[in-house]
Amino acid sequence: MAEKKTEAEVKKAVEEKYMMLQLMASQIRELEKELETLQQRGEEFSGLKASLRKLSGVSVGSKSFSSLGMGTYVESEIKNTGSILVNVGAGVFVKKTAREAEDIVSRQTEQLDTVAGQLTHNIATLAQRAQELESEIQELVQ
């Protein structure tokens, strides 16, 4: 037969579970922000892949606009579509064909999808545990 808990013990248990619930809610919000950032990055990768595919159909001498960053562009002329520079990290650029660059982006997209899947799983696990905690709190206060 279970022991009857004192009112102070019940109050302490409720407070502890409520603090855990708040911590989980905060963790869920952080994971959701990370997931949103990953989804935005995935959209950028999709746009980049589309641009790389279009590059093969562009003829040398075509007019274009080159990004200077932060939404600022300068008119430019395409002189070579056979190779592009790809940032491989730490400010190091390597010449690649558009197809090679597209393959790199595809691998990065796959990695991104894997991490997004893990984040989604973690969010679901935390949400389920939060529901269980809410039930436990309800039982304690009744």
| pLDDT value of position 2 | 57
The DSSP element (H or E) to which 75 belongs, if any, is strand 72-77
Cβ distance 63 to 75 under 8 Å? yes
Bridge partner residues of 87 (DSSP) = 93
Cβ distance 112 to 45 under 8 Å? yes
Q: pLDDT tens digits for 60-118?
A: 899 989 889 899 999 999 998 888 999 888 989 999 998 899 999 999 999 999 999 99
pTM of the predicted model as reported, rounded to 2 decimal places: 0.78
Distance CA 38, CA 19 (A): 29
> Averaging pLDDT over each range in 33-37, 50-54, 81-85, which range is the top one?
33-37
pLDDT at 1 over 70: no
The structural domains of the chain, ordered by start, are 7-141 (1.10.287.370)
Which residues have C-beta within 8 Å of that of residue 21, sequence separation ≥ 6? 130, 133, 134, 137
Helices (H) and strands (E) counted in the chain, each on its own, are 2, 4
Distance CA 69, CA 15 (A): 50
The arithmetic mean of pLDDT across residues 4-25, rounded, is: 91
